[in-house]
């Protein structure tokens, strides 16, 4: 059964010996991040900081720092089981309807739509107006370059100005003062597109940030592969049961009923963006100062004893690698629905999600690698892939020694290394200018006639019958 609350999930982790409770007092400025960094080198347990200075709420870091934690969060025995749910979901109707189903706008997805309930634990305590103070929450300042406390990969809930279509994706937020947050998004993020709808209509855009609750929502909203779709629907599908939601106290949005803390606010489209930063990022470098829309907080609602699951960006050995690996496997049917030639995909997290991407294909025709690269760059979740390596299906995309061996032996510089200009991530500080820059393809596939004027050599191999005979003689399984 899915978890109804973060506290239930933590209790389960504690019983399995996967939760470390820390009762000493820690400062949210640097100390929690430093402690998490040290603990991450010693294991992948979740860390519950029960005593944060001048704050009533507790903090948990590295919540989903291992594959076992992820499987517990999804109430599943294997990632293949969860990926099978996604594949089955996509195959329910014709392929043209897959996008419509994933965003929950046709009958096939109704069973995963959030369920509206009258009340929720997330509204046990309500602060409005002058009682709102973001500084009372244990929000972290992780790195020395950070200009203030922030929330990384915060589940941001938005809704279209033209329809009832909602979205829930993870974004970085910077605390500006007691009642204002800056949100860092970039086109073509769905929230940014929805903001343009409100701007054209000169209407304030309602937003909500949901922290805590069922850990499946945190897993979904941390994944850039699902940014196009409603994380609330995704969460319901992956947990096998719709999320309960309640109406916001000050905005016309539905928020997870069992969240620990919900921050409600609006963005005024007539207001100039604020210059914000620097701020630590998943690349391991500080995000350069940039202009970002401002959320004016109207309400903070919470459970009686909230626990905030907070992510520390760019932390070596943190929880993002485990979440990334899980979501790659779970979302593979979705990626293949968009790019049929793709066999597998891996983003090892070097330089963040967009720094390096490896995909494999079953090579059938000349220039297929280039075709797949352009398909990847045209799909919003992969459009910022900076270095894209395409390998043959026989290469394990998660074994970087195999990947770089294929690059070293099968890439001819010049012919197999085209550079294209296009949209790049705002986090790419190496680009000469922001937003637009170069992206590199490394075609490490076997070359077919039309791509290579010489015969391609056969790879070293041994006969299967000889290998089996030798294993039997050596009594090897």
Mean pLDDT along residues 395-418: 97
Q: Pull the structure tokens for residue 66.
A: 């291992």
Asked if 152 contacts 310 with a C-beta cutoff of 8 angstroms, the reply is yes
Mean pLDDT along residues 392-400: 97
Asked if 175 contacts 150 with a C-beta cutoff of 8 angstroms, the reply is yes
301-315 residue pLDDT tens = 999 999 999 999 988
What was the pLDDT predicted at 298?
Answer: 98
Residue-by-residue DSSP string for 155-176:
EEEEE-SSSS-EEEEEEEEEEE
CA–CA dist 422, 343 (Å, integer):
25
Asked if 440 contacts 407 with a C-beta cutoff of 8 angstroms, the reply is no
Residue-by-residue DSSP string for 443-457:
E-SPPPTTT-SSPPP
Query: Which tops the pLDDT comparison, 142 or 229?
Result: 142
Handedness of CA 122, 262, 306, 241 (dihedral sign): positive
What was the pLDDT predicted at 358?
Answer: 98
159-175 residue pLDDT tens = 999 988 889 999 999 99
What was the pLDDT predicted at 107?
Answer: 56
Please count the residues of the chain. Answer: 477
CA–CA dist 365, 447 (Å, integer):
9
Asked if 253 contacts 194 with a C-beta cutoff of 8 angstroms, the reply is no
Q: Return mean pLDDT, the chain.
A: 91
59-113 residue pLDDT tens = 999 999 988 999 999 888 888 888 887 887 777 644 444 454 454 445 556 778 8
Phi, psi of 14 (to 5 degrees): -60, -40
207-255 residue pLDDT tens = 999 999 999 998 988 888 887 778 888 888 888 888 999 999 999 999 9
Q: Is residue 278 reached through a cis peptide bond, with omega within 30 degrees of 0 on the bond before it?
A: yes
Phi, psi of 436 (to 5 degrees): -125, 135
Q: Is residue 188 reached through a cis peptide bond, with omega within 30 degrees of 0 on the bond before it?
A: yes
Asked if 154 contacts 134 with a C-beta cutoff of 8 angstroms, the reply is no
CA–CA dist 2, 236 (Å, integer):
9
Query: Which tops the pLDDT comparison, 334 or 410?
Result: 410
Q: Give the lowest-confidence range in 224-228, 311-315, 348-352, 429-433.
A: 224-228
Asked if residue 196 has pLDDT above 60, the reply is yes
What was the pLDDT predicted at 116?
Answer: 95
Give the model's confidence band at 435: pLDDT under 50 very low, under 70 low, under 90 confident, else very high: confident
What was the pLDDT predicted at 92?
Answer: 63
Mean pLDDT along residues 401-427: 96
Whose CA is closest to 30, among 42, 21, 38, 22? 38
Q: Which of 200-209, 315-324, 346-355 has the highest mean pLDDT?
A: 200-209
């Amino acid at each position: 059964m899915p978890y109804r609350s973060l506290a239930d999930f933590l209790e389960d982790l504690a019983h399995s010996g996967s939760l470390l409770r820390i009762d000493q007092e820690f400062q949210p400025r640097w100390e929690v991040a430093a402690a998490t960094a040290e603990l991450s080198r010693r294991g992948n347990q979740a860390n519950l900081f029960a005593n944060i200075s001048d704050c009533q709420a507790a903090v948990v870091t590295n919540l989903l720092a291992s594959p076992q934690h992820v499987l517990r969060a999804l109430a599943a025995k294997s990632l293949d089981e969860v990926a099978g749910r996604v594949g089955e979901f996509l195959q329910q109707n014709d392929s043209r309807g897959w996008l419509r189903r994933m965003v929950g706008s046709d009958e096939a997805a109704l069973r995963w739509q959030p369920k509206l309930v009258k009340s929720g634990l997330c509204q046990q305590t309500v602060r409005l107006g002058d009682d709102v103070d973001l500084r009372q929450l244990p929000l972290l300042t992780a790195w020395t370059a950070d200009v203030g406390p922030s929330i990384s990969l915060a589940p941001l809930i938005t809704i279209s100005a033209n329809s009832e279509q909602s979205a829930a994706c993870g974004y970085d937020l910077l605390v500006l003062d007691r009642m204002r947050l800056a949100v860092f998004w970039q086109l073509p993020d769905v929230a940014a597109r929805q903001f343009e709808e409100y701007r054209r209509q000169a209407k304030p855009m309602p937003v909500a940030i949901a922290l805590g609750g069922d850990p499946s929502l945190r897993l979904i909203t941390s994944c850039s592969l699902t940014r196009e779709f409603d994380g609330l629907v995704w969460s319901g599908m992956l947990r096998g049961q719709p999320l309960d939601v309640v109406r916001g106290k000050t905005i016309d949005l539905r928020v997870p009923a069992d969240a620990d803390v919900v921050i409600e606010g609006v963005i005024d489209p007539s207001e100039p963006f604020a210059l914000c930063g620097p701020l630590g990022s998943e690349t391991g470098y500080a995000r350069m100062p940039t202009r970002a829309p401002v959320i004016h907080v109207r309400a903070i609602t919470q459970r009686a004893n909230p626990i905030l699951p907070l992510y520390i960006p760019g932390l070596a050995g943190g929880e993002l690698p485990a979440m990334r690996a899980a979501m790659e496997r779970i979302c593979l049917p979705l990626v293949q629905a968009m790019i049929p030639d793709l066999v597998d995909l891996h983003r090892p997290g070097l330089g963040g999600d967009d720094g390096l991407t490896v995909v494999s294909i079953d090579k059938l025709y000349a220039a297929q690698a280039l075709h797949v690269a352009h398909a990847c760059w045209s799909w919003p979740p992969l459009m910022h892939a900076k270095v894209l390596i395409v390998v043959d299906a026989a290469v394990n995309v998660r074994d970087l020694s195999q990947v770089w061996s294929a690059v070293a032996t099968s890439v001819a510089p010049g012919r197999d290394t085209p550079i294209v200009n296009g949209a790049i991530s705002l986090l790419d500080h190496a680009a000469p200018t922001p937003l637009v820059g170069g992206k590199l393809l490394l075609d490490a596939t076997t070359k077919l006639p039309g791509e290579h004027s010489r015969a391609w050599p056969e790879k070293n191999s041994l006969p299967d019958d000889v290998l089996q005979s030798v294993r039997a003689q050596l009594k090897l399984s």
